[in-house]
Structure 1
Amino acid sequence: MPKNLYGIVFDRIVTHFAFALGLLIFLFSFFAEITFWLEFNRRFNFIAVDYLIYTYEVVKNIDESYPIPLLLGAILIVLFALIFITDKTKAFRHTFKNETTFKQKLVPSALIIVIALTFTLFVNNEKAEQFENRYNNEIAKAGIYSFFAAFRNNELSYKEFYNTLSEEQVFKTVKKDYISPKVTFVNPEEPQILRKISNSDSLKVPQCPNVILICIESLSSRFLNSFGSDLNITPTLDSLANKSLFFTNIFATGTRTVRGMEAITLSIPPTPGRSIVKRENNGGLFTIGEIFKEQGYERNFFYGGDGYFDNMNTYFGGNGFNIVDRGRGFLLDTNIKTKRTNIDDDEVTFENAWGVCDEDIYNKVLKEADKTFNEGTPFFNFVMTTSNHRPFTYPEGKIDIPSGTGREGGIKYTDYAISNFLKQAKTKPWYNNTLFVIMADHCASSAGRWALDVENYHIPALIFNAGIKPEKVHKFCSQIDVFPTVFDLLNWDYTTNLFGQSILEMKPEDERAFIGNYRKLGLLKSDTLMVLSDQHKSDIYKWNRKDNSLKVIAERPSFLYKTISYYQAADYLYRNNGLKLE
């Protein structure tokens, strides 16, 4: 401000307000970072940016998970204390009575502006990452700077940031893994993976049972006794593991629900940046829903909250699924022609920030399944659960762990609700002709010490009922392979644009799993992990399953080229409309 305006009412108001606002931002972000770290083991990233869009769910979740009055009270007390101390030092009075001229202030102001522009234009947040230990890399960053860096970089161009090969080499490498007597490529010379799969013959007649997928929020394999846990909180799932096609070495592709949805429905390795579920132009894609459609199925997506969250309604609706959710007035894109059914108030017995409890969503599934069955139409129901999510609240009196006391209670209630759902389903005329698939969307812990913490991608998956023979399958595989396996079990002939393969048909040399976060892209084969990073980096590790450690090993060019090929092919197809139905 010009010198002759120092100390006027306007100057005093602006100075006090700006000073208080700056302090409030620093204090609030400090406490917010603590809660964010508890949930994700990271500084602010693009997840925090996304959460600004979905304020209802996020604010309600925070309110139910943390003592907000206490936290806000502490912030305000510290804020007023700092303002009081500042005032006692006579800092405000010195400011309003100083003799610095406008010209004298230009030099330090210009210096501050240059520093800000330099960091904005030339300093990447990733330059803080100078350590082998991922926790150290995250601690080395600044929270507020990380937030704005994520705001600017929530999508990454694969070709600009990662190692690449020629398109010809990429698709030649990828297609080689699909060569089989059952497979015929539609356009073998084109940069595509479109192919026809033949599973039926005179001995294998196609089957069309109803299919219900239960996608469980944040269920790590380490919580199940079937994987060595002694928590005894998943008796239903552990019992089902012995009666199912049970996959013991299956890995989630990512660390968020939208990544799990992307992997399951699009059957694609994770692309850098945000999930395709959250991107623009994500309708009219070739999903598993199209294969069900070809077989005459009705396709439904069930979610206990508002499917507006994380763009789920737009994605599923734009790809031919009917929507059943707890909508609060947000409408689907007007270009989407699918049906939307609301979970009404009289159908709700318990609700928290993320929506209705699992029992309520299952009751809605049963009700809608009855309707579709009575119409004589087979159905594919994608059911997304929410109870195993902070704040871990659920109806009291259902299990022996009090509501809201932690994740173990959330898991035990999730297991209880599945048991209750299956008991009710067994009374239905459509039960015997219904195939059930249960799988986690991702693990409870999304990050660890390592760039990609392998064990934190290990999830349970099982397929049962409708004549499926129980078997434990120990092959290394990925979320993207589950529904190609289902289509194989049902003896379907179909055209596919999916990256996944039937796990049952995998040869030992074909076994692999894709794991990643929004920047790191990994290919896991047995105990070897290749990780592609932005800034055109790659690292190869030996994974020790006993202690979950990674040890850098000598380069393997052929493994590197295969990893690049899969991820580059996935990005190429998405950006060049190669995932579209046409």
Structure 2
Amino acid sequence: MIKLVAPFIKISSFYIIVGLILRIVLLFSPVTDSNFSVLDYFKIFSIGLINDYGVSVLIFIFLWIHLTFITDSKFKSPLQYIILGLFIILLGYLFLFKTIFEDYGSIVPTIIKTFVLIKAFSFTILLLIPKIRQTWRYCVYFFIFFLYIFIINFNVISEFLFWNEFGVRYNFIAVDYLIYTNEVIGNILESYPIIPMFSVLILISVLITIFYLKGSKKYFADLPNFKIKLINGIVYVLLFISAIFLLKICEKYENSDNTFVNELQANGLIHFSSAYSDSSLNYDKFYAKLPLQKAFSIIAKVYNNQWSENNNSKIIKDTLPELRKNVILVTIESMSANFLKDFGNTHNLTTNLDKLASEGLFFTNMYATGNRTVRGLESVTLCIPPSPGESLIKRSNNDHMYSTGYLFKRRGYKVQYFYGGYGYFDNMNTFFGGNGYNIIDRNSFKKEEISFANIWGVCDEDMFMKAIRIFDENSKHKTPFFGHIMTVSNHRPFTFPSGKIDISNTSKSREGGVKYTDYAIGKFIEEAKKRSWFSKTVFVFVADHCASSAGKEDIPLDKYKIPAIIYSPGFIKPEKFSKIVSQIDLMPTLFGKLHFSYSSRFYGQDVFNSSYQPRALIATYQKLGYLKDNKLIVLSPNQKIEQYNVTKDTQMNKSTSIDSSLAEEAIANYQTCFYFIENNMLRIKNK
């Protein structure tokens, strides 16, 4: 009989032993520069043991599921033929038809096909050759057990290397490594003798597996009945629930003043899970800092304000009356500057945006703050520097923030956010809804309003037409409106309605996605011109980020340059603005054009103000960039500071020296913004 207890004891004991060894190694690592009391040692090893036990229970779930569903009953007639028929139908669907999985792109369809093919092959072999069932099941069990041992060993090595680099368990940097897979794998291949390391790791894992599974083949000779499996299942579920509670309790004891104690008693996988959900990275802990007072004095000079530890408000006073014009902000998915004619593109992909650029205020030297949609949405909504880790949009406690929507709402504007997909994606509904926006997403569409949709949402034409109808309704109430529209069509799988552009809708090419989105923008303006509210409306078009951010540098500047246009015939004069501009400056510049007077908490500036100092703030998840005077300062974890000299064509050359004054400006921007975030000073008081 398969004894579920035995595999659990083996996996759990191995994980706990390896965790203990790792904890001892980390404790005596040169990086662990600290003295510990007897109580500290007790916490490290006792709470550490409980943490490792709890995780061992949770990770066993995959093996438990596999062993639970091993049975001979599925090979009895007629169930065996039903299952075989279902496999045949499923394989036919996956290999002969276009499936829903293909909309996800990448390797998802291949993974699904491979998995189903293996399961179908395994079932067929066991059905046709009953004599090999015991041996086959043992081989599969051996392989799964080996994977557990290998992954546990691999994780130990990863945690050791991560600790030596950062002196902590996994945090959002580790999550970042998963996001930037190509760059990380390249770095690992260059940094370590990866083939010998993996060869030794595989060999050790195989030997450990053989040691643990000696004599286990007999377990598959007598399969347990349903009653035994049910009892085992109930016991495991209770253990699983209790493990979650234990881990939550242990988390509360990470309260020592000594960071090393907290980190050593913790479990790396739990920290990884927390980092993935929390998505933040502590600036003060990992990046270069200045005395806080000095940081604020630098900010005062750069932004002409009097911000301090207790105040982050600056009065913006315009001498002319405010203009209560409607504002429509369109953030365009993945629209790199180099898709536009003005930036040298000769493929006529963006004829409508090119026309708008010639008829409006066109920013020719604007840089996105990041390389994700949520980072772009953050920059035009909160107008602050990008913080290390994930965008504030995906974090908790991000409601009632000082935002562009808040400024419009205070003036009686109808404030709305439009998204063609489901707004739960990337936490959009929670963020925009929590900051006073009315949400119009795919759930708001009637069936007849959708002509085409893919995995990301309705096509851009449908989204713009929905927005037009809602703007028509807004205008009937005689109050101004602010509508923020996020496009989706210029995104993999790059599918769109047929017959709209001269690129086939089956090509699934980036060029097709760009050209269709541009086409939809042209139709949007064409329809808007027919409305009475058009002459009283300002249109703002800006990319959320570029189509690609990969480069040999940490922050390749040419992959962060984006187009931005403010368009309003008769109000905004055609002009090209060539100074460096950050994405966070776009909306404050618009407020200047509308002569808004307000108390600002924005780092973004009106670029036409005489005090404006051209600079751009650019970041990845962990690299924080500051571009000014043809120099790029890059701040990294471990208090690392680098400088690149930038040519006119955005070529970057690493500098052997650091401009200390510019480095301090970079630090002051990110450090003070982090201070305001941590102290809830970007949220509105008296909500």
TM-score strictly above 0.5? yes
Question: Where do residues 456-471 of structure 1 align in structure 2 (5 Å cutoff)?
Answer: 456-465=559-568, 467-471=571-575
Quick check: 1:303–1:383 contact (8 Å CA) kept in 2? yes
Aligned to 1:478: 582
**Are 2:418 and 1:378 aligned?**
no
Cα shift readout 1:47-98 (whole Å, capped 9, x = no counterpart):
xxxxxxxxxxxx96753535855553345668999999xxxxx9x969989x
Which residue type is aligned with residue 494 of structure 1?
Y
The Cα shift of 1:352 comes to: 0.6
Quick check: 1:481–1:500 contact (8 Å CA) kept in 2? yes
**Are 2:322 and 1:206 aligned?**
yes
Aligned to 1:197: 316
Aligned to 1:353: 455
Quick check: 2:340–2:349 contact (8 Å CA) kept in 1? yes
Instruction: Supply the distance in 2 between the matched residues of 1:126 and 1:474 (Cα, whole angstroms).
Output: 41
Of 558, 577, 586, which aligns to 1:455?
558
Which residue type is aligned with residue 450 of structure 1?
E
Instruction: Supply the distance in 2 between the matched residues of 1:79 and 1:415 (Cα, whole angstroms).
Output: 45
The Cα shift of 1:192 comes to: 3.1
Which residue type is aligned with residue 73 of structure 1?
K
Which residue type is aligned with residue 63 of structure 1?
D
Range with greater deviation from structure 2 (560-569 or 549-558): 549-558
Question: Where do residues 396-407 of structure 1 align in structure 2 (5 Å cutoff)?
Answer: 396-405=498-507, 406-407=509-510
Of 107, 112, 122, which aligns to 1:72?
112
Of 269, 279, 282, which aligns to 2:395?
279
Aligned to 1:139: 186
Aligned to 1:123: 162
Quick check: 1:61–1:354 contact (8 Å CA) kept in 2? no
Q: Secondary structure at the match of 1:571?
A: helix
The Cα shift of 1:553 comes to: 3.5
Aligned to 1:339: none
The Cα shift of 1:226 comes to: 1.3
Quick check: 2:644–2:652 contact (8 Å CA) kept in 1? no
Q: Name the CA shift for 1:418/1:64 in 2 (closer, same or farther; >3 Å).
A: same
Aligned to 1:269: 385
Which residue type is aligned with residue 491 of structure 1?
H
Q: Secondary structure at the match of 1:455?
A: helix
Cα shift readout 1:519-566 (whole Å, capped 9, x = no counterpart):
000001142100000111110111235373332331111111110000
Question: Where do residues 306-321 of structure 1 align in structure 2 (5 Å cutoff)?
Answer: 306-321=422-437
Q: Name the CA shift for 1:111/1:61 in 2 (closer, same or farther; >3 Å).
A: closer
Which residue type is aligned with residue 292 of structure 1?
F
Of 52, 63, 70, which aligns to 2:103?
63
Q: Name the CA shift for 1:560/1:71 in 2 (closer, same or farther; >3 Å).
A: same
Which residue type is aligned with residue 302 of structure 2?
D
Q: Secondary structure at the match of 1:242?
A: helix
Aligned to 2:464: 362
Percentage identity across paired residues of the two chains: 39
CA root-mean-square deviation: 3.9
**Are 2:336 and 1:220 aligned?**
yes
Structure 1 residues not aligned, in runs of 5+: 1-7, 26-58, 85-89, 98-108, 328-341
Instruction: Supply the distance in 2 between the matched residues of 1:382 and 1:112 (Cα, whole angstroms).
Output: 45
Of 233, 241, 249, which aligns to 2:357?
241
Q: Name the CA shift for 1:138/1:117 in 2 (closer, same or farther; >3 Å).
A: closer
The Cα shift of 1:499 comes to: 0.6
Instruction: Supply the distance in 2 between the matched residues of 1:111 and 1:464 (Cα, whole angstroms).
Output: 58
Q: Name the CA shift for 1:79/1:309 in 2 (closer, same or farther; >3 Å).
A: same
Q: Name the CA shift for 1:562/1:72 in 2 (closer, same or farther; >3 Å).
A: same
Aligned to 2:489: 387
Instruction: Supply the distance in 2 between the matched residues of 1:276 and 1:545 (Cα, whole angstroms).
Output: 32
Aligned to 2:251: none
Aligned to 2:78: none
Instruction: Supply the distance in 2 between the matched residues of 1:487 and 1:206 (Cα, whole angstroms).
Output: 9
Quick check: 2:101–2:108 contact (8 Å CA) kept in 1? no
Q: Secondary structure at the match of 2:535?
A: coil
Which residue type is aligned with residue 343 of structure 1?
F
Structure 2 residues not aligned, in runs of 5+: 9-58, 67-98, 125-131, 140-147, 167-173, 199-267
**Are 2:675 and 1:572 aligned?**
yes
Q: Secondary structure at the match of 2:370?
A: coil
The Cα shift of 1:249 comes to: 0.4
The Cα shift of 1:326 comes to: 1.0
The Cα shift of 1:457 comes to: 0.6
Aligned to 2:599: 495
Cα shift readout 1:347-384 (whole Å, capped 9, x = no counterpart):
11111111111111111111111111100110000000
Greater helix share, 1 or 2?
A: 2
Question: Where do residues 98-177 of structure 1 align in structure 2 (5 Å cutoff)?
Answer: 116-117=155-156, 119-120=158-159, 123-124=162-163, 137-141=184-188, 151=273, 153=275, 154-177=279-302
Aligned to 2:55: none
Cα shift readout 1:187-225 (whole Å, capped 9, x = no counterpart):
x5544331110122xxx3321110000110000001111
Q: Name the CA shift for 1:439/1:147 in 2 (closer, same or farther; >3 Å).
A: farther
Instruction: Supply the distance in 2 between the matched residues of 1:386 and 1:503 (Cα, whole angstroms).
Output: 29
Which residue type is aligned with residue 291 of structure 2?
S
Which residue type is aligned with residue 123 of structure 1?
F
Q: Secondary structure at the match of 1:402?
A: coil
Instruction: Supply the distance in 1 between the matched residues of 2:151 and 2:499 (Cα, whole angstroms).
Output: 59
Aligned to 2:653: 550
Of 402, 407, 414, which aligns to 1:298?
414
Instruction: Supply the distance in 1 between the matched residues of 2:587 and 2:150 (Cα, whole angstroms).
Output: 58
Range with greater deviation from structure 2 (253-262 or 398-407): 398-407
Cα shift readout 1:280-336 (whole Å, capped 9, x = no counterpart):
000011001121122221110000111111110110111111111113xxxxxxxxx
The Cα shift of 1:277 comes to: 0.3
Instruction: Supply the distance in 2 between the matched residues of 1:112 and 1:226 (Cα, whole angstroms).
Output: 51
Which residue type is aligned with residue 366 of structure 1?
I
The Cα shift of 1:495 comes to: 1.0
Query: Relative CO higher for 1 or 2, CA cutoff 8 Å, sep ≥ 6?
Result: 1
Instruction: Supply the distance in 1 between the matched residues of 2:437 and 2:137 (Cα, whole angstroms).
Output: 62
Q: Name the CA shift for 1:177/1:125 in 2 (closer, same or farther; >3 Å).
A: same
Aligned to 2:405: 289
Q: Name the CA shift for 1:562/1:13 in 2 (closer, same or farther; >3 Å).
A: same
Question: Where do residues 428-443 of structure 1 align in structure 2 (5 Å cutoff)?
Answer: 428-443=531-546
Q: Secondary structure at the match of 2:669?
A: helix
Aligned to 2:445: 343
Q: Name the CA shift for 1:463/1:437 in 2 (closer, same or farther; >3 Å).
A: same
Of 508, 511, 514, which aligns to 2:617?
514
Aligned to 1:562: 665
Quick check: 2:303–2:603 contact (8 Å CA) kept in 1? no
Q: Secondary structure at the match of 1:503?
A: coil
Instruction: Supply the distance in 2 between the matched residues of 1:81 and 1:148 (Cα, whole angstroms).
Output: 36
Cα shift readout 1:208-249 (whole Å, capped 9, x = no counterpart):
110000110000001111111112110001111111100000
Instruction: Supply the distance in 1 between the matched residues of 2:448 and 2:661 (Cα, whole angstroms).
Output: 59
Cα shift readout 1:465-515 (whole Å, capped 9, x = no counterpart):
15111100001011100011001111111111111001122567x110010
The Cα shift of 1:167 comes to: 1.4
Aligned to 1:529: 632
The Cα shift of 1:420 comes to: 0.5
Range with greater deviation from structure 2 (290-299 or 409-418): 290-299
Q: Secondary structure at the match of 1:504?
A: coil
Which residue type is aligned with residue 156 of structure 1?
L
Instruction: Supply the distance in 2 between the matched residues of 1:547 and 1:195 (Cα, whole angstroms).
Output: 33
The Cα shift of 1:136 comes to: 5.8
Q: Name the CA shift for 1:291/1:323 in 2 (closer, same or farther; >3 Å).
A: same
Q: Name the CA shift for 1:112/1:238 in 2 (closer, same or farther; >3 Å).
A: closer
**Paired residues, what number?**
497
Quick check: 1:529–1:542 contact (8 Å CA) kept in 2? yes
